[in-house]
Amino acid sequence: MYLYNGKKIDINRNFTGPDSTQYPHLKPPEWRNALGVVEAPDPTYPDPLTHSYIENPDGSLTVTERPLADVKAEVIRRINADCSTRIYVKYSREVQQSAALGIYPALVVDQMRSEIAAMIAASNGACDLVNATTTVITAANSGTVTWPI
C-alpha cells in the first residue's frame, strides 16, 4: 500500500502532483520518492465471516465483530447448502423423482432414503452445535460436519 500525505493512493492510476504536474501513474520509485509517497504494509484483513470492516483514508481498518446471530445464520446456511449439494450430487432431482414414482427397485430406494436421512441428520447435528455456541469465534469454527457419504 502506498500513502501520500497520510492517505492511501493507487500508484497505477493517474496522479496530479502538488505543482499540478500530471503523472500517468506512480510506478517508478523516482517519481514516488520525489513526491514523498511512502510504502506502508498492507493491513491485515479480518475474516469476513466474523468481522466487518471499513477501510479508512489512511489505509487502516476499523474492524467490528459481527453479531453472533448473523454469524450463526451464515454458518448454518453454509452447512445446509453443503448438505444439499452433496445429496444432489449423488441423487439428482430426477433420480429422487423417479424413485418416488416407483421406477427404481425398493432396495435402491431404501438405500437412497437411508443415505439422504443420514446426510440430513449430520447437517442437523452440526446446526445444533452451531446454535449452542455463545461466541462469534466458536460459532464460526463449529461448522465442521462429518458427512456419512
Residue at 11: amino acid letter: I
Average pLDDT over the chain reads 94
The pTM of the full predicted model, rounded to 2 decimals, is 0.75
C-alpha 126, offset from chain centre: 19
The predicted structure's pLDDT at residue 143: 82
Residue at 1: amino acid letter: M
pLDDT digits over 42-77, tens only? 999 999 999 999 999 999 999 999 999 999 999 999
**Percent of the chain with pLDDT strictly greater than 70:** 100
Mean pLDDT of the region 142-147: 89
pLDDT of 80 above 90 = yes
